[in-house]
Amino acid sequence: MLTDVKIENICRKFGIEGEYRSYEKITSGHINRTYKVYFFRDGELKDYILQGVNTYVFKDPEKVMDNIISVTEYIRTKIKSTGISAKRYVLHYQMTADGKYYYYDEKGGFWRCSRFIDDSQTFLTASPFVMEESGKAFGEFQKYLSDYPVKDLFIAIPHFHNTILRFDTFRKSVEADVCGRAKGVKNEIEDYLALENRATETYRAQRAGILPLRVTHNDTKCSNVLFDRKTQEHLSVIDLDTVMPGLVAFDFGDAIRAGANSAAEDEKDLSLVSLDLTKYEAFTRGFLGVDKDALTQAEIDSLAGGAIAMTLECGVRFLTDYLDGDKYFSTDYPEHNLVRARCQLALAKDMLTHYDEMRDIVLKYAR
């Protein structure tokens, strides 16, 4: 059990000085344990973010931190080259006395600590304005790292967006049917398999050499952006554990899947599920407004399809987990993963009906 004494002791390992005051748990994340810690120094409170990294998900946390430090320092250099301070626009991690950006506690727990960016906030749901600002944040992330040596990055989670593998795994789960649930979801199984080519075409384009690998974030929800508390303008991209080689279309697409759904991810009434084109356009405007010159034409052409691919991938993962007995995703009731899978399927189908409009919006802001 974590106590104030343990929290303070871990923070001291990262060279934090001043009088320890308190900590609070941040509950918005689902993978790592995150705490906001307060120290009093130089006449004012100083805030830090302390995280215990989930080493079940991230098998080699030291290499994950190597990715994070390399990428954040690269971005910091780019920002400083423009003549402005990078203090509020990129994460800054604390170093231990022996020059490391992490600390192992007595039980082998892996910890890291960063400065809290002053007067910042996150949003769990996005207005069109927040979607546009999120688009700017992830567009700048891509732009700053467009010339980063992507092959130097450690692959934190192998095959993370390998949609071909996701569907192969799904097919095996259907055949195994370990929980006897396949018969009751025959229609959903058939619908997903019918859309497999759409789900995998972006990944296949990368394998064919049409789309280049870039430094990608791989979890582009608006909740992974910090915004100014007063203006709501974007400040910094956060939650960088999944930074690794990937496709721009998948970062773009996952942001649309998560932020431009007119309903919740687990909405049971599928008549409420649709693509919010206003939010889609807002994100596209923000993203391409800063990143279009760093992308190839093939990448630009892949963006709309990337949204469909990420929605289908997420949905097929939910359905796979439902067939396997709900082992991966946490659920609140027995059919929760099935409801999620149906919702993603409905969203993907609506995207397909609006695909021409989605492409037109991309081309509008790519000019």
Residues 300-324 have pLDDT tens digits of: 999 999 999 999 999 999 999 999 9
Work out the burial of residue 201: count CB atoms within 10 Å of its CB; fewer than 13 is exposed, 13-18 middle, 19 or more buried.
middle
pTM: 0.94
Fold that domain 128-366 belongs to in CATH: Aminoglycoside 3'-phosphotransferase; Chain: A, domain 2 (3.90.1200)
For residue 140, is pLDDT > 90?
yes
How far is residue 77's CA from residue 248's CA, in Å, rounded to a whole number?
A: 22
Per-residue pLDDT tens over the stretch 26-85: 987 668 999 999 999 999 999 999 999 999 889 999 999 999 999 999 999 999 999 999
Domains of the chain by residue range: 4-118, 128-366
CATH of 4-118, one of 2.60.40, 1.20.1630, 1.10.3470, 3.30.200: 3.30.200
Q: Do domains 4-118 and 128-366 have the same CATH topology?
A: no
User: How would residue 105 be classed by pLDDT, with cut points 50, 70 and 90?
Assistant: very high
Nearest to 287 by CA among 71, 146, 148, 132: 132
| Contact between residue 116 and residue 44 where contact means Cβ atoms under 8 Å apart | no
